[in-house]
Structure 1
Amino acid sequence: MRQNTLGRGEIGVSELSFGSAGIGNLYTPVEPEQAAAAVDAAWDAGIRYFDTAPHYGIGLAERRLGEALSARPRAEYTLSTKVGRLLEPLPAAEGDDLANGFAVPATHRRVWDFTADGVRRSIEESLERLGTDHVETVFLHDPDQHVAEAFGQAYPALERLRAEGVVGAIGAGMNQTAVLTRFLRDTDIDVVLCAGRHTLLDQSALDHLLPEAVARGRSVIVGGVFNSGLLADPRPGATYDYTAAPPALLERALRIKAVAERHGVPLRAAALAYPLRHPAVASVLVGTRSAEEVRDAADMYGRQVPDALFDDLRAEGLLEGGAR
């Protein structure tokens, strides 16, 4: 599998990367053996970049990922985690965490914290859950409602940690482009993780974010390439950005699927290939919860997708004119 380097640094990532929210029991439970098998399948497919966060399953994803990778040579893979939510234990578990999207007991509550102390504490606790002494990359996680604190306290803390060699690369991860573009312009981050905004259904990252990344020699990791399901399997009831897909978007996705199939390409393969056509994109992050899903993603990544497919999508008004 192809490897790329983040920004102007030395941190390498595989072009296809493993998102761990699924093995943190996103929406439905995943058995421990199934989670371990998913990580094993990713390794067998050549994936060497694994992303996680305390938010995913109230630490479950970090623990499972660390355990599954514990027997692998640490120098052969790259880890990223995130800061911004601290996990505070509750006196007793009451109910589940499904209100936050995870089928786990509600043993902790999340506390937003983008202070310098919060950043350091979050990383220390993540390292303990992961069972490692370092992570290569740390992202500020969803600072949408905490922008001033993220820029004023959390980012400088990450910059100091990078200078100290505690982490190799720093960045921010969000579902929007405006604040990520500001991070690229106003800070010295290495990478941004942009979810859902550079896909076959939403090319808004092309307006400012991706050109800014290219101009400044920074990297973009693209998540949410299936827009939470619609581009994986467009059908009535499919989801788009975690809610029911509007009829107009479902129709658009079906039209994109028809164009792809005319070229003999599964829609999932086209959805994975599209972001990687841009020079700023270093990796596509796919959330998987089973070995079968991992193997399918690897298979789709390996498919040949002709330029003519994207030319036809533009010709039919299904891709923005400026899209590559």
Structure 2
Amino acid sequence: MDTVELGRTGLRISRLGLGLASIGGMFAAVPESEAVATIDRAWELGVRLFDTAPVYGYGLSEQRAGLALRGRPREEFVLCSKVGRLIEPGGPDTQPIWAEPPAGLGPRLDYSYSAVIRSLEDSLGRLGIDHLDILHIHDPDLDFATASTEALRALQELRMRGTIRAISLGVNHADVAARFLREVGPAGPDCILLAGRYTLLDRSGAEELLPLCRSLGVAVLAAGVFQGGVLADASDGAPHGYGTVPAALAARIRALRELADRYDVPLLAAALQFPLGDPAIPAVVVGARSAAEVSELVALLEHEIPERFWAAYRDAF
């Protein structure tokens, strides 16, 4: 798989990154052997960008990432994790989406300087790896004042020491990332992980954030390209965050499917490749819970999509 420069970070990444929430048990339990096999298959196919977080399975994702990655040449892959939540006994900020959280443990939101340092130390311990390449401030909108001051200061010091290579934000809201960039200036993030806001269904990231990133030289990793899974399965009750898919959204998805069928394009291939059309976005990050799913993702990334499909998409949407 081709590798590309990640903005000004000095890091080279594969065009496809593997998000590791799924192997932490998001929506459904994943056996440890299958989790490791998923990462192994990604490695075989050339994936060299891996993104995890303490909150993914309350440490489980990081532990499994470490099992699969720590025997590999460290200079050959880029590893990302996040700060903003400490995993500790009785942590109160739990989420119902994790199928197999460790007994008695939970996350606690904390963007303070000391919590960020502790969070990184805990992550490195779970991973069994001595440094991270990218560290995201996770969901800074939950405590923007502290995230943009104390958490950022901690990451700046960690970057200066060489414990991390790049500072990032992990966000679901493009306006939050744009505000962060505007307020903290050039000493802020080197890159941004943007989930669900530059996709076939939602291009709100293009309104302010992507132009701002292009002007500042801040690279964007596009995540959530299947819109929480609703592009893969729009049926009510599927694990995509909707109990019932809103009628307007369902109609938009049907129209996208009809367009893709007209040009014989797999809809998920279009969804995966769409963000890469913006010069600020060198890679997409997508989750998988099995080796077979990883193989499917790589095939979707490599599927040739005719320009006439993109022209028709721009005209229709």
For normalisation by structure 1, the TM-score amounts to 0.92
Q: For the aligned residues, what is the CA RMSD?
A: 1.7
Cα 1:282–1:184 change in 2 (3 A) is farther
**Aligned runs of 1:41-52 on 2, under 5 Å?**
41-52=41-52
Q: 1:243-298 CA distances to partner (integer Å, 9 max, x unpaired)? A: 53212211211211121122221000000010000000121110111111111111
Structure 1 residue 223: Cα displacement: 0.7
Structure 1 residue 98: Cα displacement: 6.1
Q: 1:108 aligns with which of 84, 105, 108?
A: 105
Residues 1:2 and 2:2 are matched in the alignment:
yes
Query: Would the aligned equivalents of 1:196 and 1:241 in 2 still touch at CA under 8 Å?
Result: no
Structure 1 residue 314: Cα displacement: 2.3
Name the SS of the counterpart of 1:186 in structure 2. Answer: helix
Structure 1 residue 99: Cα displacement: 2.2
Which deviates more from structure 2 when the two are superposed, residues 175-184 or residues 271-280?
Answer: 175-184
Which residue in 2 is equivalent to 1:121? 118
One-letter amino acid of the structure 2 residue matched with residue 177 of structure 1:
A
The CA distance in 1 between the partners of 2:49 and 2:149, in whole Å, is 29
Which residue in 2 is equivalent to 1:264? 264
Query: Would the aligned equivalents of 2:236 and 2:243 in 1 still touch at CA under 8 Å?
Result: no
One-letter amino acid of the structure 2 residue matched with residue 212 of structure 1:
L
The CA distance in 1 between the partners of 2:283 and 2:181, in whole Å, is 17
Structure 1 residue 231: Cα displacement: 1.3
Which residue in 1 is equivalent to 2:88? 88
- The gaps in structure 1 that reach 5 residues or longer are 92-96, 319-324
Residues 1:280 and 2:280 are matched in the alignment:
yes
The CA distance in 1 between the partners of 2:5 and 2:241, in whole Å, is 29
Structure 1 residue 219: Cα displacement: 0.4
Name the SS of the counterpart of 1:27 in structure 2. Answer: coil
Query: Would the aligned equivalents of 1:238 and 1:245 in 2 still touch at CA under 8 Å?
Result: no
Paired residue total: 312
Which residue in 2 is equivalent to 1:156? 153
One-letter amino acid of the structure 1 residue matched with residue 172 of structure 2:
N
One-letter amino acid of the structure 2 residue matched with residue 37 of structure 1:
A
Which residue in 2 is equivalent to 1:307? 307
Which residue in 2 is equivalent to 1:190? 190
Structure 1 residue 89: Cα displacement: 2.0
The CA distance in 1 between the partners of 2:234 and 2:243, in whole Å, is 13
The CA distance in 2 between the partners of 1:180 and 1:292, in whole Å, is 34
For normalisation by structure 2, the TM-score amounts to 0.94
Query: Would the aligned equivalents of 1:13 and 1:78 in 2 still touch at CA under 8 Å?
Result: yes
Q: 1:185-216 CA distances to partner (integer Å, 9 max, x unpaired)? A: 23321001110011100000010010001011
Q: 1:111-152 CA distances to partner (integer Å, 9 max, x unpaired)? A: 111111111110011001001000100000012220000112
Which residue in 2 is equivalent to 1:26? 26
One-letter amino acid of the structure 2 residue matched with residue 47 of structure 1:
V
Query: Would the aligned equivalents of 2:27 and 2:239 in 1 still touch at CA under 8 Å?
Result: no
The CA distance in 2 between the partners of 1:13 and 1:263, in whole Å, is 31
- The gaps in structure 2 that reach 5 residues or longer are none
The CA distance in 2 between the partners of 1:144 and 1:103, in whole Å, is 27
Query: Would the aligned equivalents of 2:24 and 2:98 in 1 still touch at CA under 8 Å?
Result: no
One-letter amino acid of the structure 1 residue matched with residue 291 of structure 2:
A
Which residue in 2 is equivalent to 1:208? 208
Which residue in 1 is equivalent to 2:254? 254
One-letter amino acid of the structure 2 residue matched with residue 44 of structure 1:
E
Which deviates more from structure 2 when the two are superposed, residues 300-309 or residues 239-248?
Answer: 239-248
Name the SS of the counterpart of 1:99 in structure 2. Answer: coil
Query: Would the aligned equivalents of 1:227 and 1:241 in 2 still touch at CA under 8 Å?
Result: no
Structure 1 residue 105: Cα displacement: 3.6
Identity within the alignment, % = 42
The CA distance in 2 between the partners of 1:311 and 1:27, in whole Å, is 36
One-letter amino acid of the structure 2 residue matched with residue 178 of structure 1:
D
Which residue in 2 is equivalent to 1:134? 131
The CA distance in 2 between the partners of 1:102 and 1:182, in whole Å, is 34
